[in-house]
Structure 1
Amino acid sequence: MLRKFLFSVLIIAGLMAGIVGYSLVRADFTTDDGVSHQWKNYEGQWVVVNYFAQWCAPCLREIPQLNDFYQQYSSDVPMFAISFDAVTPEELAQLKQKFDIQFPLIETVERALPMTKPNSLPATFIIGPDGQVKKQLLGEQTAASLRRAIDILKTL
């Protein structure tokens, strides 16, 4: 009887360890380059997430500025974009090529993102070092406006 009880406890402990271990390594989202990401890896950093759509003219107009921001600041401020519309990985790759998007695109989301899907576009979210949304910017952004917004938020 005691042996069965101990065996049951060991099985339950093993299952619990597996569940905890899986939750520690499970990706929150995957980008179009096949890299898996966890939000906890960005703790202590500012992160920019932009929502866009191919039918949104202002979204397409701001892409060169977002590329500039990414080229200038990605080592300090990781940046991602996500399609407002549900698209396949193949469609996402076509959008990236067609519009010369140079920053990573979120392809699949495994866990809830820190922000909710916006009601209007373009929408850019600035995520603070604590993993929480600090600001939602609506409308076209420039590399300078993004940098300025982050600099202002850092002083608060």
Structure 2
Amino acid sequence: MNKKRVIQISVLVFVAAVFFFLAKGMNAVDIVEVGDQAYNFELEDLDGTIHKLSDYEGKFVVVNFFATWCDPCIEEAPELEKYQQSYASEAPLLIIDRGEPKKRVQDFKVKANSTSTFLLDRDDKISKTFNVVGQPETLIIDPNGIIREKIIGPTTAEDLKAIIATLKMNGF
């Protein structure tokens, strides 16, 4: 191979690498983890009202990611409703559906006899931003918007209450 050909191939590889990294950067999602400032999402509820995480500033917020077809989510639903009835006035509960049709989520809410706020993450972008891999996953966000806890798998009303109480005792 002559020197001119080596230079041409090197330039081509360099241009391809630059294009790849620029394209990746344009589509990249900033991921937030425990200890990070939570992403201030805006999602629609089942009635068409937009909810922003910042609407709940100054309070602890419980954010639960779920899907209607997920067996552990279905099993967890009564516990989340128990939490909603007993503790949500102190620390609101937002349940984020991962990319399902609105009608399916509405039917689930009726069947589960839930009074919780269900939000629609139609393109799963918010779930990806919070690095949610499966469901159910639950985040506890402090009054300053910092993610303090991530629970992978089902949780209970009492566990949520206890975690928030501990965080409050620790000054969060």
Normalised to the residue count of structure 2, the TM-score between the two structures is 0.66
Stretches of structure 1 lacking an aligned partner (at least 5 in a row): 1-26
2:77 corresponds to which of 63, 87, 94: 63
Would you identify which runs of 4 or more consecutive aligned residues in structure 1 move more than 3 Å?
A: none
Query: What amino acid is the match of 1:100?
Result: N
Stretches of structure 2 lacking an aligned partner (at least 5 in a row): 1-40
**Displacement, 1:148?**
0.3
Larger Rg: 2
Q: Following the alignment from structure 2 to structure 1, what is the Cα–Cα distance between the partners of residues 69 and 107?
A: 14
**Displacement, 1:144?**
0.4
**Displacement, 1:130?**
1.0
**Displacement, 1:68?**
0.6
Aligned length: 129
Q: Secondary structure at the match of 1:77?
A: coil
Query: What amino acid is the match of 1:95?
Result: F
Task: Kindly provide the CA deviation profile for residues 84-120 of structure 1, in whole angstroms up to 9, marking residues without a partner as x.
Answer: 3x112222212212333320100257x958x614112
Whether the aligned pair in 2 keeps the contact of 1:31 and 1:108 (CA below 8 Å) is no
Residue 123 (structure 2) pairs with residue 95 (structure 1): no
Determine the structure 2 residue equivalent to 1:131. 145
**Displacement, 1:126?**
0.6
Task: Kindly provide the CA deviation profile for residues 6-35 of structure 1, in whole angstroms up to 9, marking residues without a partner as x.
Answer: xxxxxxxxxxxxxxxxxxxxx822211332
Query: What amino acid is the match of 2:100?
Result: V
Whether the aligned pair in 1 keeps the contact of 2:67 and 2:100 (CA below 8 Å) is no
Alignment of 1:41-120 (within 5 A): 41-84=55-98, 86-107=99-120, 116-120=130-134
Whether the aligned pair in 1 keeps the contact of 2:65 and 2:95 (CA below 8 Å) is yes
Query: What amino acid is the match of 1:126?
Result: I
Query: What amino acid is the match of 2:108?
Result: L
**Displacement, 1:80?**
0.9
Residue 169 (structure 2) pairs with residue 151 (structure 1): no
Whether the aligned pair in 1 keeps the contact of 2:62 and 2:138 (CA below 8 Å) is yes
**Displacement, 1:121?**
2.1
1:142 corresponds to which of 153, 156, 172: 156
Q: Following the alignment from structure 2 to structure 1, what is the Cα–Cα distance between the partners of residues 76 and 121?
A: 23
Residue 136 (structure 2) pairs with residue 122 (structure 1): yes
Query: What amino acid is the match of 2:156?
Result: T
Query: What amino acid is the match of 1:49?
Result: V
Determine the structure 2 residue equivalent to 1:23. none
Q: Following the alignment from structure 1 to structure 2, what is the Cα–Cα distance between the partners of residues 67 and 118?
A: 22
